[in-house]
């Protein structure tokens, strides 16, 4: 079973939840951190990394001896990544989506595709938990190719937890779109509710079943709860605010180690989801 943990708003508790769920299951499980711009799960899991693999994308390279500066490559680029002047071709790899159109349409075959490293995938383990994370290189703008590369490591013989990046962009969509179930984490604030509604829209379009965890459930207002009740959305868990949770988090201690009672709660949550959606 693949369970994705997502939230449009940042800082609501995706990492806390993903780590807690993985640790409470304990074995036959893989945790994939696809928040590639800021993967944090390793801080709590403390895995041993055994293998690293570069993630490559294809970007165009121009042979100026063959180029006639006709501008075809620039006009077919949907991402405006190429500008042609009368005597130069300027390629901006950070905007390139590796579609290959420029190479395909170049009338003089002056364009070839070359590999460019945009990040790395790290593979390791902590006891019986398989741990995989992606890291986007600083200065790179596109997390999605790393998210897609990460998903090739999904092991169907195990249960998989995917810690998705915040937001509702391509990287989040690609992180959740093969999941059997998605847990949305939010907080009971106007910002939390606003972004929860956006996340729900995404999941309904993708036809992925989901439920909501309300973190810091005793702060803010009760609008998130009211919204879930009106929309008949299941609230899976409420985690009240606690200074002790925050202190544990700041020391890199997983929630279920600072608060042993949560170990049982997360285990039960997983068993329930497995029975219903696994």
Partner 1 sequence: MKICITSSGDNLESQIDPRFGRCAYFIIWDDETNAFEAIANPNIDVGSGAGIQSAQLVIEKKVSMVITGEVGPKAEKVLKEGRLQIITEAKGLVKDIVEKYGMGKVYSE
Least distance in angstroms from the C-beta of 77 to partner 1: 8
Measured in whole angstroms, the distance separating CA 214 from the mean position of its chain's CA atoms is: 20
Least distance in angstroms from the C-beta of 90 to partner 1: 5
Cβ-based nearer residue to partner 1, 94 or 137: 94
Cβ-based nearer residue to partner 1, 82 or 213: 82
Query: Cα separation of 183 and 23, whole Å?
Result: 16
Least distance in angstroms from the C-beta of 80 to partner 1: 2
Cβ-based nearer residue to partner 1, 62 or 224: 62
Cβ-based nearer residue to partner 1, 100 or 209: 100
Bridge partner residues of 30 (DSSP): 130, 160
Query: Cα separation of 53 and 232, whole Å?
Result: 43
- Compute how many other C-beta atoms are within 10 angstroms of the C-beta atom of residue 53: 13
SS3 34: coil
The enclosing H or E element of 146 equals: helix 144-151
Least distance in angstroms from the C-beta of 84 to partner 1: 7
Least distance in angstroms from the C-beta of 92 to partner 1: 6
Binding residues for partner 1, rule: CB under 8 A, are 71, 74, 79-88, 90, 92, 95
- Residue 192 backbone phi and psi in degrees, to 5: -60, -45
Least distance in angstroms from the C-beta of 225 to partner 1: 36
Nearest to 265 by CA among 228, 234, 237: 237
Cβ-based nearer residue to partner 1, 12 or 174: 174
Length of the chain in residues, anyone?
A: 278
Kindly give the pairing relationship between strand 159-163 and strand 2-6. Answer: parallel
Cβ-based nearer residue to partner 1, 18 or 172: 172
Query: Cα separation of 5 and 15, whole Å?
Result: 8
Measured in whole angstroms, the distance separating CA 215 from the mean position of its chain's CA atoms is: 19
């Amino acid at each position: 079973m693949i369970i994705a943990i997502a939230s449009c708003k940042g800082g609501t508790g995706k990492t806390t939840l993903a780590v807690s769920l993985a640790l409470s299951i304990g074995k036959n499980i893989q945790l994939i951190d696809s928040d590639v711009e800021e993967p944090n799960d390793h801080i709590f899991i403390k895995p041993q990394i055994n293998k690293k693999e570069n993630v490559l994308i294809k970007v165009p390279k121009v042979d100026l001896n063959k180029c006639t500066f006709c501008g075809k490559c620039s006009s077919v680029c949907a991402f405006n990544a190429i500008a042609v002047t009368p005597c130069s071709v300027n390629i901006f790899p950070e905007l390139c989506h590796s579609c290959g159109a420029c190479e395909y349409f170049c009338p003089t075959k002056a364009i070839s595709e070359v590999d460019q490293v945009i990040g790395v995938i790290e593979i390791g383990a902590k006891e019986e938990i398989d741990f995989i994370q992606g890291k986007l290189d600083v200065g790179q703008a596109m997390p999605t190719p790393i998210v897609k590369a990460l998903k090739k490591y999904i092991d169907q013989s195990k249960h998989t937890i995917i810690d998705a990046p915040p937001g509702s962009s391509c990287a989040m969509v690609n992180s959740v779109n093969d999941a059997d179930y998605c847990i949305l984490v939010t907080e009971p604030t106007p910002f939390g509710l606003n972004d929860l509604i956006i996340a729900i829209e995404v999941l309904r379009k993708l036809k992925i079943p989901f439920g909501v965890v309300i973190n810091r459930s005793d702060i803010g207002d009760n609008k998130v709860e009211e919204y879930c009740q009106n929309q008949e959305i299941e609230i899976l868990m409420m985690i009240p605010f606690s200074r002790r949770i925050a202190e544990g988090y700041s020391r890199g201690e997983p929630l279920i180690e600072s608060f042993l009672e949560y170990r049982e709660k997360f285990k039960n949550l997983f068993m329930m989801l497995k029975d219903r959606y696994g």
